[in-house]
Structure 1
Amino acid sequence: MPTDLPSLDLLRSLSDRHVLAAVAAAGRLTRAGAATTTGLSKPTVSQSVARLLDLGVLVEGERTAGGRGRAGTYLTVNDAAGCALAVQAGPEGVVGEVLALDGRILATRRRALHAPVTPGSLGRALTAVCRALTEDSPGPVRAAAVSVADPVDRRTGRVVELPESPFLVGELDPVGLLADVLPVRPVVDNDVSWALLAERTEGTAQGVDDVLHLYLDEGMGAAMWAGGRPLHGARGLAGEIAYSRTFVRDRTSRTTRSGTLMECVAALGYLTDGAKSIDVASLLEDLDRGTGQARTLAGAVAEVALAQAYLLDPELVVLSGRWGRHTGIVEAVTTVLGDAGGVATTVAVAQVTDDAPLTGARIFALGELLATWSAEPGGVPR
């Protein structure tokens, strides 16, 4: 007799998840509407609804009016059954949200940071924001996603300090810091990785399985998806393009040498005085004017993009960040990739630009929240 058939409990869990997801996506839905949306039979939907009502995940609200047949009642998610947190820690500070299952933002908390950002100052801000969010939540926190503007060790969740990091001075352990604050282990990842998840869900990379995302702003980074899944590397350090080799040329000399992309930025005079962050305003002004040093940097970025394209073979290259989206950068990358033999990729500008890392963390946290009421693993790869 075959033994690999799905169990009745798993089938029930799958139908419950589909019904719950349909109600969450719609905001409110009748049983008949849930059957239409999910394609499940009305008896199956009724049984799932009964289980979800017993769990307190769904609640019945107002009755429907008009239409044919018996009046029904609208189903909505119950915020008191559980919520998720999405948190972003970046140069401007820490911002966090309490999320209902249907995507509503129930509360927002912010805490400012001042450069240089140390593990102590960031840790205190992150802890304070998350503690306040748990107090704001109308129900238990069942999932949490944290975005940090630095590489994250995938094995431990620790933030890794690299020599050219423009944000955090030192290492940070968000998972350890939040162990006594949150009832669940937060999923911590790099901000560019979360931004690419947002771009694949809501932006120009929807439906594309192989994507290279280059972020160029005060800092520089990259994120990749290969075969429909994120590519992080053994420790989460994949995508640190500031250390990629390219050509370096001083702004006062035509001599070219090999060096890192960050060395190129420094040699051209685009680092903020006394800091490791990029002077975005000055660089944008030079890109607008088409100065020689700005064109040199655009060429260096294009060479890095080319090397990554040969390594990863992406279907799409997405450019984001304030100067990454500039026409001068986009044209340089497009030209170099277009002239390269064997490279067949499209270059596009990111569409999700406002709080993209927080948007990605929000998408993931909601997926994890939905999965807490299902036997299935979370539907969003991480």
Structure 2
Amino acid sequence: MSVDLPSLDLLRSLSDRHVLAAVASSPGVTRAAVAATTGLSKPTVSQSVARLLDTGVLAEGERTTGGRGRAGTTLTVDAAAGCALAVQAGPGGVVGELVALDGRILATRRRAVSVPVTSRALGRALVEVCRALASDSPGPVRVVTVSVADPVDRRTGRVVELPESPFLVGELDVVDLLEGVVPVRPVVDNDVSWALLAEQARGVAAGVDDVLQLYLDDGMGAAILTGGRLLHGSRGLAGEIAYAQAHAPARGSRRAVSDTLIGCVEALGYLQPRGRAVDTTRLVADLDADRPTALAVAEAVAGVARAHAYLLDPELVVLSGGWGRHTRIVDAVTTTLGDAGGVTATVAPAEVTDDAPLVGARATAVDALLDTWLVA
């Protein structure tokens, strides 16, 4: 019986990836240090380094002196060989970063957008930021990741318009907008999905493959990781918990409200005037004060989390956002899932709280950038 052995090109590609990743994570290392870190033989490392020097992604530095053993030259990533753009577009405007393979942020650009946010204004700011960052880059832009504050059809990169969206007004086609501005097709996704990837990269979800993350702030949404992969649905609508069925006591009445989650929040008096955004400041204050209406919102969220836990069977439920991490929300979800027969998910507040979608987009961009230099 014949056995298919990996091709030489594949073995070289795997070796190059390990070597490149080792140098990117520890700039200034020597070949010997890379061999010790990766477990590859010194000849294999030397061959990989030679190939990567030829492509221009690695550069040699000064020779090391002192210590035990032979001296060697240090290795660093050369940003002139190519960089990535990571961009976050939402109600606060657009912020973008120019990122090198070793994770260095080489430049940051921002553009404010007035509220209510329109697709035209957001698109214009997005183009301006990406064009400026591309000009800042010391080498070709090889990867672009974009986070937007609405569901995204991953097949087309277009934002999906929903009637209860608190932010974007009008359709936004990121791929079309950035054609000719950046040389590669951007990877576009919803901000909560990027935030979940940030939690997996450096937060409470590290090493966990089945995660439900609820984002509760001015807007409400969720991201789902199943088997280590993000679940988007056919048009990117997976995780739109604002439309999930929920139950809560009505304000000033003993009669329960049965509506969508955003309908319950509205019935309890926590939507901002003249809009569909949650009044986060007032809701947090009422949660602090244990007001019955705010605790009813917590119960409604907990019911939605329970329904999703039975459907998805996550190992971990992460709570994020301005009021999602509040102790009363965490306690309500923990208690409700604990009382649900058969559900064993752990509940935890998010650890990555500052620019989480941008952190996730950046981490993904660096990983994708690594692959652009390797043999297919």
- Whether TM-score is above 0.5 comes out as yes
Q: CA deviation at 1:191?
A: 0.4
Distance 1:28 1:232 in 2: 40
The aligned residue for residue 354 of structure 1 is: 354
The CA RMSD measured in Å over matched residues stands at 1.1
The aligned residue for residue 256 of structure 1 is: 256
Q: Which runs of 5+ in 1 are unaligned?
A: 377-382
Distance 2:181 2:267 in 1: 44
Cα pair 2:94 2:126 within 8 Å, conserved? yes
Q: Does 1:198 align with 2:195?
A: no
Distance 1:227 1:347 in 2: 18
Distance 2:259 2:225 in 1: 27
Distance 1:46 1:197 in 2: 34
Cα pair 1:248 1:263 within 8 Å, conserved? no
Distance 1:149 1:5 in 2: 45
Provide, for residues 91-112 of structure 1, a one-character-per-residue CA deviation record: whole Å limited to 9, x for no partner: 1110000000000000000000
Q: Does 1:87 align with 2:82?
A: no
Distance 1:40 1:274 in 2: 62
| TM-score, structure 2 as length reference | 0.98
Q: CA deviation at 1:251?
A: 1.6
Cα pair 1:246 1:259 within 8 Å, conserved? yes
Distance 1:110 1:151 in 2: 22
The aligned residue for residue 48 of structure 2 is: 48
Q: What amino acid sits opposite 1:28 in the alignment?
A: G
**Percent of aligned positions that are identical:** 72
| TM-score, structure 1 as length reference | 0.96
Q: CA deviation at 1:7?
A: 1.3
Provide, for residues 113-164 of structure 1, a one-character-per-residue CA deviation record: whole Å limited to 9, x for no partner: 1111111001000000000000001110000100001000011110111111
Distance 1:2 1:100 in 2: 43
Q: What amino acid sits opposite 1:255 in the alignment?
A: R
Q: CA deviation at 1:342?
A: 1.4
The aligned residue for residue 10 of structure 1 is: 10
Q: CA deviation at 1:254?
A: 2.3
Partner SS for 1:335: helix
Cα pair 2:250 2:257 within 8 Å, conserved? no
The aligned residue for residue 380 of structure 1 is: none
Q: What amino acid sits opposite 1:276 in the alignment?
A: R
Cα pair 1:248 1:261 within 8 Å, conserved? no
Q: Does 1:209 align with 2:232?
A: no
Q: CA deviation at 1:11?
A: 1.2
Provide, for residues 64-100 of structure 1, a one-character-per-residue CA deviation record: whole Å limited to 9, x for no partner: 1211233211100001000001000121110000000
Cα pair 1:287 1:294 within 8 Å, conserved? yes
Distance 1:239 1:296 in 2: 22
The aligned residue for residue 335 of structure 2 is: 335
The aligned residue for residue 103 of structure 2 is: 103
Distance 2:321 2:119 in 1: 25
Distance 1:232 1:313 in 2: 16
Cα pair 2:195 2:360 within 8 Å, conserved? yes
Q: Which runs of 5+ in 2 are unaligned?
A: none
Q: What amino acid sits opposite 1:213 in the alignment?
A: Q
Q: CA deviation at 1:231?
A: 1.1
Provide, for residues 233-270 of structure 1, a one-character-per-residue CA deviation record: whole Å limited to 9, x for no partner: 11111000000001154323222232100001111111
